[in-house]
Structure 1
Amino acid sequence: MEEKVHTGLTYGVEDKPDLGTTIVLGFQNVITAFGGLVAVPLIIAGIAGFGVEDTAYMVSAALLASGIVSIIQSKGFGPKWFRVGAGLPTIMGTDFAFVAPAAAVIGAGGITAYFGGTMLGALLEVGLSYFVKPLLKFFPPVVTGSVISLMGMTLMSVAMGWAGGGFGSEDFGNPMNIGIAVLVFLIIALINHYGPSRIAPAAVLIGAAIGYVVCIPLGMVDFGQVVAAEWFALPQFFKFGVPDFKLEYAIPFVSGYLVTVIETVGVMQTLGAVTETKLTDERIAAGVRADGFGSFIAPFIGSGPAATFSQNAGLIPLTRNASRKVAIMGGIIMIVMSLFPKFATLISIMPQPVLGGAGILMFGTVAAAGVQSLSRVEFNNRNMIIVASALGVGLGVSFVPDTVAQLPGILSGLFSSGISAGTIVALVLNIILKEKV
């Protein structure tokens, strides 16, 4: 059974804030994840050569699938032998780990091959969830602490990219962008530290809203996209055709699902730490199973595979809110947004520097939680090597991903993510480096 130590949190996992607070904090979770929620479907739509209408539908489908799977992951459903969902506050969404294989599969068989391949691959992840329990014995504190730290550190490049205006933008690094990011950062930090208990948990939302409003007179917000968006749109089953179930289309996604399993175990460990909850092995396995289950059902409505978002874990220690009711509300909000494209578009045009100011603090908080976890580890020679190697390889891959791009076969996929690369290194060293007597 789980044990919970309730110390620094305003709302624990089982706590139920009032409806107004729940909606505000749920919306805050959606804003935090929104860039990741819409980025992958936009890329996939581009690879598939979709027009504006089909691209807009794929974004709405991604929001709908993310909302449904977030509720499943946060609530937890099913009998013990097929429990789906860890029951921790979690936001789910499409993952970049599947973009590279998607390009190859869509090129070979079209969008129906993409959906068919990911659905078959999802069955692999569901199967692997039953082997998570024996795997967890290889995750002592020195490994989990390294993974949690690495999770925050590798996301920092994303936050800095946002702060600069978005990688590839014409005004990247413009002092105006940096100024907006700094403003949002300071507002969040000050409200979080000095704000009353009812206001502090919404610091990220308040900071983002103020930053958004400031950007409007500066000409950084284009409402033309909102005007062009549809008011209402219903989901459609197999809008792009019946999935093409061929093994050859599933194989390229195997590495993506293996990476997802590794990263989800790490995210679950992180969630356990920041929610002050001691997780059972079965609960972590149920979290991995929710990833696989969500990835299987998402293509029915035209979305790609679902994965647990690590960035939202940073909201929990920062806002001192760990209520799963809030994450479930976030899922409901995403479902509603998927039905009203104008509303979703209004959030999607939020200037990148606004997200950057919030992201720096959130992702830094995750890294700090990992450091806090490592502070309870004895730093002998063995453990120092494990931590140094995990952080070194993980950050190195994040900084220079081309270094491992030409690795053969499945190794390229496993080491394509800094988090998975660092985790693999920590796991291997934990096994081969024995404790000295």
Structure 2
Amino acid sequence: MEKYNGIKLEYNINDNPNFLKSSLLGFQNILTAFSGIIAVPLSIAAISGTNVEETALMVSAALLASGICSFIQTKGIGFGKYKIGIGLPTIMGTDFGFVPPANAVINTMGGGLAGYFGATIMGAFLEFILSFFIKPLLKFFPDIVTSTVITLIGITMMPVAFDWVGGGATAENFGDPLYIAIATFTFLLIIFINHYGRGFITTASVFIAMIVAYIICIPLNLVDFSKIIEAPWIALPQILPFGITFDIKFLMPFIAGYLVTIIETVGVMKTLGSVCEVELSDSDIANGVRADAVGSMISPLFGSGAAQSFSQNVGLIPLTKCASRKVALFSSAILILMSFCPKFAMLVSIMPTPILGGAGILMFGTIIAAGIQSLSRTRFTTKNIMIIASSIGVGIGITIRPDIVSGLPTIISSLFSSGISGGTIVAVLLNILLIDKKY
């Protein structure tokens, strides 16, 4: 396969960095994904009105589930058509797309957390069944659609990065010049290390820059260590800590969410194959979707939500030139250990969000670059231009103004609830409906 953007990977899929390097690079993955992993359980906790202890339990459960699911997706379990996991370096977590259906089940339908976890498992079985039909579904994802979706993934994630730059979307002093300065420092330091560094230094550029920025933030009073002091050293996971209720009516809001997950996962898996310089078969993509489904069955048992592959960590691969499967497996192990040690997890969770923002701009930008490179190899026919323009236009529009679809029927509004899913649906439909002109 052609090198991604002409960049030579320092560590390929089967390379085995030593223990120290794998640990540092694995932790780099976690720094990138951590806010995404804990954001959804915090949102679910707010929706359900849990107390401090229950909220902490949900965060620890999310870390444990993320570690287990990331291991399954990265390692790949089983064989043939029954294999689960794509076998490429992946970090998993719960997607924000499941927050609206969770709110519907917990509050509107009165199912509470037990109903939410039951609906998550039932929906996961639906996704698992559909994973066996990915091959015919992939006929609707030719290169023009896939390339557009890859570009769209990066574009629609960029507002998240700038929310981080400003201190977090809900920050009272959002956009404080100090926040922007920290994000800019992190951003430039990553570029400098990545461009001028050599070997492992380049590979660990994001980790090094984020740690340096973290240390700088301490004397600026942007790091609150009191939360670490309050957190316990050890906390063991619990099985079904909030109970579970299976009711078919609770499944309804989750159907659209899982359909969107399949669409987004196909795009993420395609991007993952590109940045890892691995040719993926239809079966490989199906294995990746199947791992999402199995992960979503396992996660609620510990008190966490549906699992999905994180696109931000896909963007980390070309940026750090590290695609080692071993590193991702180390990330999985560290996440599991962190779930047992709330103090350590808290040390990462109190990292100022502008640091993530500076790194996020580059990570999501590399995904956009992957899409542009892929698009450059397609023919710019009238049909293809219409697909690109319409998909990216709709995707950006929904990302900027997600409330535009709130008045539509529930199923349609759920399908178009994110820029990635909305833009992907438009690209697929136009590819089917438009016929290339013959001149």
1:436 Cα deviation from its structure 2 partner: 2.1
In structure 1, distance between residues paired with 2:382 and 2:103: 44
* Deviating more after overlay: 183-192 vs 168-177: 168-177
1:81 Cα deviation from its structure 2 partner: 2.7
In structure 2, distance between residues paired with 1:348 and 1:433: 47
Question: 2:183: which partner in 1?
Answer: 181
**Contact 1:4 1:277 (C-alpha < 8 Å) held by counterparts:** no
| Residues 291-335 of structure 1: per-residue CA shift (max 9 Å, x gap) | 010001111111111111111111011011111111111111100
In structure 2, distance between residues paired with 1:174 and 1:315: 27
SS of residue paired to 2:315: helix
Question: 2:157: which partner in 1?
Answer: 155
* Deviating more after overlay: 76-85 vs 186-195: 76-85
In structure 2, distance between residues paired with 1:114 and 1:227: 32
| Residues 9-64 of structure 1: per-residue CA shift (max 9 Å, x gap) | 11111111111111111100011000110000011112121111110010000000
Are residues 1:210 and 2:188 paired? no
| Residues 266-304 of structure 1: per-residue CA shift (max 9 Å, x gap) | 000100111111101001000000001000111111111
Match of 1:221 among 220, 223, 248: 223
SS of residue paired to 1:37: helix
| Residues 108-143 of structure 1: per-residue CA shift (max 9 Å, x gap) | 111111111110010000011011111111211111
Question: 1:21: which partner in 2?
Answer: 21
In structure 2, distance between residues paired with 1:142 and 1:389: 13
* AA at the equivalent of 2:155: M
**What are the within-5 Å matches in structure 2 for residues 403-418 of structure 1?**
403-418=404-419
Query: Normalising to structure 1: TM-score of the pair?
Result: 0.98
SS of residue paired to 1:213: helix
Please provide the CA RMSD for this pair: 1.1
* AA at the equivalent of 2:174: F
SS of residue paired to 2:159: helix
**What are the within-5 Å matches in structure 2 for residues 418-433 of structure 1?**
418-433=419-434
SS of residue paired to 2:200: coil
Are residues 1:79 and 2:69 paired? no
**What are the within-5 Å matches in structure 2 for residues 133-152 of structure 1?**
133-152=135-154
Question: Which runs of at least 4 in structure 1 moved beyond 3 Å after TM superposition?
Answer: 3-7
**Contact 2:382 2:436 (C-alpha < 8 Å) held by counterparts:** no
* AA at the equivalent of 1:28: Q
**What are the within-5 Å matches in structure 2 for residues 224-303 of structure 1?**
224-241=226-243, 243-303=244-304
Question: 2:68: which partner in 1?
Answer: 68
Query: Normalising to structure 2: TM-score of the pair?
Result: 0.97
**Unaligned 5+ runs, structure 2:** none
In structure 2, distance between residues paired with 1:369 and 1:117: 36
**Contact 2:81 2:283 (C-alpha < 8 Å) held by counterparts:** no
Question: 2:113: which partner in 1?
Answer: 111
* AA at the equivalent of 1:70: S
Question: 1:335: which partner in 2?
Answer: 336
* AA at the equivalent of 1:345: M
Question: 2:194: which partner in 1?
Answer: 192
In structure 1, distance between residues paired with 2:200 and 2:36: 28
1:239 Cα deviation from its structure 2 partner: 1.3
**Contact 1:4 1:278 (C-alpha < 8 Å) held by counterparts:** no
* AA at the equivalent of 2:428: L
Question: 1:31: which partner in 2?
Answer: 31
| Residues 197-217 of structure 1: per-residue CA shift (max 9 Å, x gap) | 111011111111011111110
In structure 1, distance between residues paired with 2:419 and 2:71: 28
Question: 1:360: which partner in 2?
Answer: 361
In structure 1, distance between residues paired with 2:333 and 2:307: 16
In structure 1, distance between residues paired with 2:112 and 2:354: 35
SS of residue paired to 1:387: helix
In structure 1, distance between residues paired with 2:301 and 2:273: 31
1:184 Cα deviation from its structure 2 partner: 0.3
Question: 1:369: which partner in 2?
Answer: 370
**Contact 1:145 1:371 (C-alpha < 8 Å) held by counterparts:** yes
SS of residue paired to 2:289: helix
**Contact 1:238 1:301 (C-alpha < 8 Å) held by counterparts:** yes
In structure 2, distance between residues paired with 1:259 and 1:274: 23
1:5 Cα deviation from its structure 2 partner: 6.4
**Contact 1:181 1:355 (C-alpha < 8 Å) held by counterparts:** yes
1:342 Cα deviation from its structure 2 partner: 0.3
In the alignment of these two chains, the number of paired residues is 434
In structure 2, distance between residues paired with 1:4 and 1:18: 27
In structure 2, distance between residues paired with 1:400 and 1:192: 35
